[in-house]
Structure formats: C-alpha cells, structure tokens
Amino acid sequence: MNYEEILRSRGVSVKTTADLSVFIVCPFHDDHDASCSVFKDKGNFHCFGCGETGKFFELMAAIDGVPVRVARREFYEEANVEEVLSNLEHHLLLQDEAVFSVTSFDQDEFHRRFPSVSVHPEALEYAKRRGLSSILIERFDLRWGTRRGSMRNRIIVPVYDEKSRLVAWCGRAIHGEIPKVKKKERTSNVLFGLHELLMIWDRSFLPFNPLIIVEGDFDAEYLQELGYAAVATLGTAGLSPRQLALVLKCAKSVVLCYDNDTGGRKAVEGYVKKDGTIKRGDREKLEELIPTYCLTLPEGKDPNDLPPYQIHRYFGQYRPRARKRRRV
C-alpha cells in the first residue's frame, strides 16, 4: 500500500525526506511544523510534537474525522481480506461441504445483548491487566456479560470467522468462583484471531511466516498485541479439518504453542502424534503439509502469563516477516 499517495490523495501536504518516513501536519494537536512522521513502509505514525502514535488507519480516522472503526474498514479490510478470501473460498469449496459449514449469529443482536466491556470498570481493568490495550480491546470487540443469564459477570469474547461472521462467543470469568471459560457454540471451525489479522495486517505479511497457533483466546490476543501473528484453536483437541485448511491457506509455516499444563501437554501429544499424524481431522502429516515448529513455555505457563520481555525471548525468532515488495 502506498501510504504517501493515500495522504496526498486526501489533500494532505506531505514533506518527503530521504528517510524511511514522510512528515505531515499532525491532526492530533495544533501543529504548524509538520511534526508527525508517517513510516513509508507500514503507515505507522509518530508525532514528535504531541507524542501521539499509532497505526495508519488511526491517523486517517483523525484526518477524515470518522470513527477509527470506519477508517480501519476502509483501508485494510478491502485491501487485505478480499484478495485472501477469494482464494480461500475456492480452497474451502474443494473440501467436504458438510464438515466446513459455519453457522453465524446476528451481530447487532449480540451487541445489544452484551454492552462493550468498557461499561464495567472492573472487567476493563482485568483485560488491561492481561496486557491488552484499548486498541486491542476494541479490535477484538470484547463485551460484558452484565448481571443475568449464563454469561453473567464474564468478559464476553466474540469469535469471528475469517469473513467477519460472528460464529460463537466465550465467557471469561473475571473472578475465581465460576469456571474460567464457558463456550456458547462450537468454535472448532474457525481460527480465533485470524479475522483480526486479516483486517489489520499489511498484506505483504501474507501468507504468515510463521503463524503462531495457541490454545486460548487471550493468548492469541496478547501475542497479537506484542506484534506476532497468532491465532487460537480454542480447544485442546488440535486442529479441525477446517482449521487445517485455513492454516494451509494463510500460513507458510506454523509454530505450535500449547499450554504446558497437564491438559496442554496432552494437547500437544494429541496434536501431532509420534508418527507425525494429526489426531483429529486430516490424516495427513502436518509437517509434510507445512513447516511446523513446536514451542514449549516454562512449566505451567500460557503466553498470557508471561511479561512482554519473556514473550520476545521465546517468540522473538518467530516475528513475522513481510515479503519483499517489487518496485513498480
């Protein structure tokens, strides 16, 4: 994506330098000197005047005076998702229809029923304590389970499939007295977090190399927050056939990182058996289909239990690389 051109096409005056970035007048403060630098390759910005920093779509939201959600959709969804999904659709059609069907729920109804997590300070605090920024909380559309029903007093984590359809939600208790996670529907046909990756990441990162696969929703969110391409299977049983198809379509290599508690250990063993076959779904060997690495975290730890510096220590080598772009 040519960020410089997008800025110019909106009448923003752009100061170029020989450097990796261009400078514009900052839309976040009363700027007279073009203090805001926009990186040419990724579109991220940083203002040397007011310190505001973020992604390109956040800058565009400020320039256009539209909600971040709208700007994000406009600039990323079309560019990234269309291309990937046109291929993906075809890919999935080649598979068994019955196995791959996805039932979805009405998103507006879901939003009416569960308010944004920000209405509940304690829940918001919990999400932030787990390392999620406001941007991520919005991106993953975290909701609050209010007072009644089986989802009461839980953070509701919606599960969107790769085409932005709401297929399930999980309730995560923020206090110890009720089980940690409760699932509303089957989630085995989606890769949690893939939707968000496709929406946000520059398409030069596709296919992901590698795609990190974890078990839990917050683990995937946390890793994404720290700059990794991570998705979650939301279960201990390994990849379902549809999940496998998605992985093969969207990744060039995978890193399996399942929780290392007892259940997690079982999951890894069940995941790729000793002879290399996948326990559930396809009988093909995962490693024959795609380069596969296993990453084990210290005893009893999930990614979300580790501070950022440790995450980078363990995952640093798996930072996704962008493809080299051809100059036109």
Residues of this chain that interact with Zn ion (CB under 5 A) are 26, 28-29, 47, 49-50, 52
Sheet with 254-257: list strands edge to edge. 230-232, 211-214, 254-257, 292-294
Give CA separation, 291 vs 208, 269, 288, in Å.
12, 18, 7
**Minimum Å distance from CB 30 to Zn ion?**
9
What is the smallest separation between the CB atom of 37 and Zn ion, expressed in angstroms? 10
CB of 48 to Zn ion, least distance (A): 8
| Number of Cβ within a 10 Å radius of residue 218 | 25
Nearer CB in complex with Zn ion: 59/213: 59
* Residue 297 exposure: Cα atoms within 13 Å on the Cβ side: 26
Which residue, 47 or 63, is less far from Zn ion as judged by CB? 47
Q: Min. distance of Cβ 1 from Zn ion in angstroms? A: 23
- What sign has the CA pseudo-torsion 24, 28, 32, 37? negative
Min dist. Cβ of residue 51 to Zn ion (A):
7
Closest CA to 306 of 213, 187, 202, 219: 219
Minimal distance in Å, beta carbon 59 to Zn ion? 10
Name the amino acid, one letter, at 306: L
Closer to Zn ion at the Cβ: 21 or 187? 21
Residue among 289, 311, 287 nearest 298 (CA): 311
Strands 53-54 and 254-257: unpaired
Complex with Zn ion: residue 49 or 270, whichever CB lies closer: 49
CA angle 250, 255, 257 (to 5 degrees): 125
Q: Residue 311: how many CA atoms within 13 Å on its side-chain side?
A: 21
Rounded to a whole number of angstroms, the distance between the first and last alpha carbons of the chain is 12
Q: How far is the CB of 133 from Zn ion (least distance, A)?
A: 19
Residue (52 or 196) nearer to Zn ion, CB: 52
Instruction: Closer to Zn ion by CB, 14 or 181: give it.
Output: 14
* Pair of tokens at residue 228: 């990794």
Nearest distance from C-beta of residue 227 to Zn ion, angstroms: 23
Residue with smaller CB distance to Zn ion, 62 or 127: 62
Residue 12 or 26 with smaller CB distance to Zn ion: 26
Burial 225-255 (b: 16+ CB within 10 A, else e): bbebbbbbbbbbbbbbbbbbbbbbbbbbebb
Nearer to Zn ion, 28 or 160 (CB): 28
User: Which three-class secondary structure state does DSSP give residue 186?
Assistant: coil
Please state the closest distance from residue 60 (CB atom) to Zn ion, in A: 15
